[in-house]
Each structure stands twice: as C-alpha cells, then as structure tokens.
Amino acid sequence: MTHALIFGMVTERLKEALGLMDIRVIDHVVVGSDGCRSFAEMGYV
C-alpha cells in the first residue's frame, strides 16, 4: 500500500467524520521530509 493511498483513505475518513458535525474539509496538507502535498491542489478534496 502506497503512502498516497493511505493518506487518501485518511482524508476520506476525516471528511466522513467531520461531515457528521457539519464541518467541511477544505484541504488536507501532508508535510514530509521531501516537502508538502496539498490534497486540494491534487484534486482529491
């Protein structure tokens, strides 16, 4: 399982859980030693 797949699954779970409380996810940013990735910029959010 790749890191991208794992982070994608985490993002979806966060969206589901926060949606129950009427909280909208605008972005999910992952920061690592090689830089950062915005899931909104990649079209995943």
User: pLDDT tens-digit profile of 6-40?
Assistant: 888 988 998 999 999 999 999 989 898 999 989 89
Residue 9, domain extent: 3-38
User: Does any domain span residue 28?
Assistant: yes
User: Does any domain span residue 17?
Assistant: yes
Task: Classify the C-alpha dihedral 35-38-17-22 as positive or negative.
Answer: positive
User: Does any domain span residue 22?
Assistant: yes
User: Does any domain span residue 30?
Assistant: yes
Q: Which amino acid is at 43?
A: G
User: Does any domain span residue 43?
Assistant: no
For the entire predicted model, the pTM comes to: 0.66
User: Does any domain span residue 45?
Assistant: no
Report how many domains make up the chain.
1
Instruction: Give the separation between CA 26 and CA 9, rounded to whole angstroms.
Output: 16
pLDDT tier for residue 1 given thresholds of 50, 70 and 90: confident
